[in-house]
């Protein structure tokens, strides 16, 4: 009788806990095709709210802290300490989270980075002052480059940080390309270059050749900013389709390009599905770009299951189509139309299900 009563009490307790404990959502993880994989990148000078922490826990596998994060609470310079502390906190919320920090390869910020302030105090010859408390690193100085690599690796190896967003690569690509490659290929963890931003309709500011020297690429102009013609967009799509599966690819889109590609996420999200492989992530920032509140902009189609891709995208002129287990994607760069037809079974060729669409005329 005592055993039966104990069992009943345990069941009641379990039901009570399950009824009162909120069930965590799960981010889209690398290698999974259950939902859109979202990349988080923002800062909050006074710190995230509890609601924002919970959103990060539930929606972002990879998350990057911007330079001014927590500087009102920690003071300046404090970007490295705050990044390490926040990385440990995010890991406690979700052990599968991959927090990273940002550190420029080109520009020195002694007001924000502790290691930079210390290095410039001892080696002022490593950088040239350009005003407003900012400096440009001398990438022709091998001692400076060795220091950069050692500093970044120590930061990653001694904390819960998984890697570094290597900012400012465009500024050194043409003048110090070989030095930058040498730096990147020696860095530990998830080192991401900022690249593939269009220089025109036929070339990039930072070439895909850099990708073999780092863990992945952050595409800052995913249907925003300089990506403003159908040919530049086609160059971007075609290049991203060649990125190997083991390289991380982050596609950052926002409504800051005069509505050329539509005023919401629909078109760039469909484009994400056209090129996505097992380590591809998407970020939509609406109109706010980097604010913590913008981080929490979320759309129901991000939660829909696409299933595994049934091959790469098929290209016909400026039109791309791709079939997944549970959706069929169409992207027309010339007419600037897109559709994602969601369904339960795409074993046949024709798309089934309800399509979400965006349409606008391409500028002449």
Rounded CA-CA distance 210/185 in Å is: 10
Task: Give yes or no for a contact between 110 and 122, defined as CB atoms under 8 angstroms apart.
Answer: no
Tokens of residue 166, six digits = 């290597």
Please name each of the domains of the chain with its CATH number.
25-307 (3.20.20.80)
Q: Sort 225 into a burial class: Cβ within 10 Å, 0-12 / 13-18 / 19+.
A: middle
> Between β-strands 127-131 and 134-137, what pairing exists: parallel, antiparallel or unpaired?
antiparallel
Task: Give yes or no for a contact between 307 and 232, defined as CB atoms under 8 angstroms apart.
Answer: no
Q: What is the pLDDT along the chain (364 residues), one digit of tens a residue?
A: 434 443 344 343 334 434 444 567 899 999 999 999 999 999 999 999 999 999 999 999 999 999 999 999 999 999 999 999 999 999 999 999 999 999 999 999 999 999 999 999 999 999 999 988 899 999 999 999 999 999 999 999 999 999 999 999 999 999 999 999 999 999 999 999 999 999 999 999 998 999 999 999 999 999 998 999 999 999 999 999 999 999 999 999 998 888 899 999 999 999 999 999 999 999 998 877 777 877 778 999 999 999 999 999 999 999 999 999 999 999 999 999 999 999 857 665 444 444 444 433 333 3
pLDDT in the model for residue 10: 39
Task: Give yes or no for a contact between 195 and 206, defined as CB atoms under 8 angstroms apart.
Answer: yes
pLDDT in the model for residue 21: 41
pLDDT in the model for residue 25: 81
Helix (H, G, I), strand (E, B) or coil at 357: strand
Tokens of residue 206, six digits = 């930072």
Orientation of helix 79-93 relative to helix 114-122, angle to 10°: 150
Closest to 115 in 3D by CA, of 101, 130, 131, 97: 101
Rounded CA-CA distance 263/139 in Å is: 40
What count of other Cβ atoms lies within 10 Å of the Cβ of residue 241?
16
């Amino acid at each position: 009788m005592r055993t039966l009563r104990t069992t009943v009490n345990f069941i009641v307790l379990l039901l009570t806990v399950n009824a009162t404990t909120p069930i965590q959502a799960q981010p889209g993880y690398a290698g999974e095709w259950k939902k859109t994989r979202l990349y988080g990148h923002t800062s909050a000078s006074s710190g995230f709210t509890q609601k924002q922490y919970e959103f990060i826990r539930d929606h972002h596998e990879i998350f990057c802290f911007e330079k001014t994060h927590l500087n009102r609470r920690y003071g300046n310079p404090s970007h490295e300490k705050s990044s390490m502390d926040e990385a440990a906190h995010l890991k406690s919320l979700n052990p599968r989270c991959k927090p990273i920090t940002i550190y420029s390869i080109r520009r020195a910020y002694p007001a924000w980075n502790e290691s930079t302030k210390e290095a410039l105090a001892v080696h002022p010859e490593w950088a040239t002052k350009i005003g407003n408390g900012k400096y440009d690193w001398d990438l022709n100085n091998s001692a400076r480059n060795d220091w950069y690599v050692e500093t970044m690796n120590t930061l990653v190896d001694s904390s819960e940080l998984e890697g570094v967003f290597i900012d400012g690569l465009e500024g050194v690509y043409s003048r110090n390309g070989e030095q930058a490659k040498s730096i990147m290929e020696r860095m530990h963890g998830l080192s991401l270059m900022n690249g593939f931003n269009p220089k025109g309709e036929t070339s990039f500011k930072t070439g895909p050749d850099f990708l073999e020297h780092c863990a992945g690429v952050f595409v800052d102009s995913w249907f925003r900013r300089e990506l403003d013609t159908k040919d530049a967009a086609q160059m971007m799509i075609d290049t991203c389709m060649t990125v190997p599966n083991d390289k991380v690819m982050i596609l950052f889109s926002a409504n800051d390009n005069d509505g050329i590609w539509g005023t919401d996420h629909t078109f760039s999200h469909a484009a994400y599905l056209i090129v996505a492989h097992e380590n591809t992530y998407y970020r939509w920032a609406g109109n706010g770009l980097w604010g913590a509140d913008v981080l929490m902009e979320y759309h129901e189609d991000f939660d829909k299951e696409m299933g595994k891709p049934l091959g790469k995208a098929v290209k016909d002129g400026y039109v791309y189509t791709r079939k997944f287990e549970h959706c069929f994607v169409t992207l027309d760069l010339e007419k600037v139309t897109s559709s994602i037809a969601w369904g339960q079974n795409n074993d046949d060729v024709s798309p089934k299900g309800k399509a979400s669409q965006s349409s606008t005329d391409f500028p002449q």
